[in-house]
Amino acid sequence: MAFRPSHRRSKPTYILDLNMAPLLSLFVALIPMLLLTAMFQKVGIVNLYLPTLEEALLQNNASDPSQEFTLAVTVTLNEITLMKDQEVLITERIESGLNLDRITDKLVTLKDQFPEKRDAVLLLDGEILYETIIDIMDAVRVRGDRELFPDISLADRIVEES
């Protein structure tokens, strides 16, 4: 007579498994939503500054005239010049690429001398590309975490008749 198969061996083994299906359906809903709203390239803005009439009048009546001057950055295709009123502070040639470190260094010392000053003017040639303008504005606006001259206006460079 043959052996009767053992009951012990044929007992089903239970695998304890968490039911992940609800979590899965939640993820399936969340992922497309987040993918659609995700911004892989963050967009920011650079504010342009237009002095209003009141501010212009206020500046003319400033209590300390020594703090008042025009800070201008003149940009041509070949060089960048930093000017305080009519006095040329620094000139940087543009050769292979923009090198704004020396200009920013100079601007930091200027900011140390005139901590109240916030505005600067960029005087640009018509050929200057938008990207270059933004780079130069960055150099004039901030240095690391330090704010230099954030109120920047753009203007045409006045071509001197020679």
- Measured from the CB of residue 1, what is the shortest distance to another protein in angstroms? 7
Name the residue among 157, 160, 147 with its Cα closest to residue 119: 147
The 3-state DSSP class for residue 125 equals coil
Cα-flanking dihedrals φ and ψ of residue 153, to 5°?
-115, 155
- Measured from the CB of residue 130, what is the shortest distance to another protein in angstroms? 5
Three-state helix/strand/coil letters over 51-120: CCHHHHHHHHCCCCHHHCCCEEEEECCCEEEEEECCEEEEEEECCCCCCCHHHHHHHHHHHHHCCCCCEE
- Measured from the CB of residue 67, what is the shortest distance to another protein in angstroms? 26
Q: Which of residues 68 and 135 has its CB atom nearest to another protein in the complex? A: 135
- Measured from the CB of residue 119, what is the shortest distance to another protein in angstroms? 15
* Residues 49, 129: Cα–Cα separation, whole Å: 19
Q: Which of residues 36 and 85 has its CB atom nearest to another protein in the complex? A: 36
Q: Which of residues 26 and 58 has its CB atom nearest to another protein in the complex? A: 26
Q: Which of residues 64 and 161 has its CB atom nearest to another protein in the complex? A: 161
CA dihedral 71, 52, 58, 136 (to 10 degrees): -20
Q: Which of residues 4 and 93 has its CB atom nearest to another protein in the complex? A: 4
- Measured from the CB of residue 124, what is the shortest distance to another protein in angstroms? 5
Site residues (CB under 8 A) for another protein? 1-5, 10, 12, 15, 17, 20-21, 23-24, 27, 30-31, 34-35, 37-48, 50, 124-131, 133-135, 137-138, 141-142, 154, 156
Please provide the size of the chain in residues.
162
